[in-house]
Structure 1
Amino acid sequence: MKVKVISVLEDNYMYLVIEEQTKEAIAIDPAVPHRLLEILKREGLKLTAILTTHHHWDHARGNEALVKEIPELRVYGGDDRIGGLTDKVVGDQELKFNSINVRCLFTPCHTSGHMCYFVWEDGCTDPPAVFTGDTLFIGGCGRFFEGTAEQMYHNLTKVLGTLPQDTKIFCGHEYTVKNLKFALLVEPENEKVKEMLTWAKARDDDDKPTVPSTLHEEFEYNPFLRLSEESVQKFTGKTDPIEVLRVLRKEKDNFKKPKERVLPHAMLALEWGLLRP
């Protein structure tokens, strides 16, 4: 199983999961359809399915154009608001595409119908992968647009946090440097955060992606997965893990340097769901 990372828009990722024997592929969040079609043609791949994490335009807007181009294409997702949806899935539902297996992980909070996808290949010794959309990022987590801290806690600890430790994390956006700057504010003595931030800045300078990480690594430096750590609790002034998460997310929402502050009209667009988190 090969995962192709494709950078699109300002900081989005879309992905192709490729079964190398058959040259068949599954797309995750193909927001820029013409770019995807170019890659499929260039690499001689056949697109059989789309997995959509959530309905926001920067993840789902390419679905309808791709279905028009490939009429037999199936579009999977957990929300009726997803454009081009042909198959609505539910949590723990499993899909199979030849030797590629997909388990749908229901993770409501960023949106009420958000779905992550845990993927592995029969007979393959490579670690599994999880496509986390806007629920879990490298060093961070998504905004609570349509949900609660309780839901995100469940997503991070009971759903994603219990996957195999070597699972590769493929998230929906390149937010790593900013996430790790916040992680360093939370845990200024965490050497792993410092090491990762230096690495991520170098990747950013070279215009290279920071995905994937692994679940094991995320537990070392992602404050949203370190809710029981004394240093994280000290930063938030809370000990209950859900309250720690709630405070962390509020602090992260306000973690902007002056030059990065969102203009009023852009903030309205965010509230209307027109922009990414």
Structure 2
Amino acid sequence: MNQLLAQLPVGLSIGAVLLLAALGLNFTFGQMGVINMAHGELIMVGAYTAFVAQAWVGLPSSYALLVALPAAFAVTGLLGLALEAGLIRHFYGRPLDTLLLTFGIGLVLQQLARDVFGAPNVSVPAPPWLAGGLTVAGMHLPYARLFILALAAACVAATAYYLSRSRSGRRMRAVIHNRDLAAVSGIAVRRVDAATFFLGSGLAGVAGVALTLIGPTGPTTGTNYIVDAFLVVVVGGLGQLRGTVLAAFALGLLNAMVEPWSGASLAKVVVFAAIIVFLQLRPQGMFTVRTRALT
């Protein structure tokens, strides 16, 4: 029991990282059907944005993180918008083609990162106010992981508010639910697609900044999370925010609880097996869009 309690904060922090990685992917995949394999490289760009803010710009570590978060959102959002407008929009409705296209884009971005920053991993020092942690009921809770949890909660709250309260968010929900009906109703679907890709890519950049708090940054940083992020989206349900939240923390906790007894590799096998069993029982995911049909 003590070991399970010790793994609880680890599982929650893994779930928070998966949630940040999958949050933006959920809407681009759920709305446009784009299998964006370059989403991991957008996470990597966000992580390098934090590195640039400290190592190149020279911002003090005490507040560089707070500057890097909005900067990474803007940089990766604009990059994703440029990729969508220049390349990806020509392949809508062709999922396998988007998979191959974005996989190639990801390789280009990885090589570009190696040319600019070098192949070795780089570290981004955490701000002094995130040093140390709390001890609650025998569990050690590092401030850095608590910050990631708070950041994930803030991103979910902001996304939920955007989807439910803003006009552009309601248009996005309409396109996710029924793309053709939204188009004939007068919604500029093309504009909504661009806004969705900007939002999803920006959230990937925020996830990259969060990853700098728990490990080094390298050209393949995002690749380690892209498969798990897709699994979170599929298990939670396409376009379903609450499903993404529940699936991310469920997979993070399952991985953290199994890993101490089985090792990292076998823990992945157990998680994949659990996902396969779940999808056999509920292939549509935890939540799905309810529609009316004539009978």
TM-score between both structures, scaled by the size of structure 2: 0.27
TM-score between both structures, scaled by the size of structure 1: 0.28
Higher relative contact order (CA 8 A, sep 6+): 2
Larger radius of gyration: 2
**Bigger helix fraction:** 2
**Bigger strand fraction:** 1
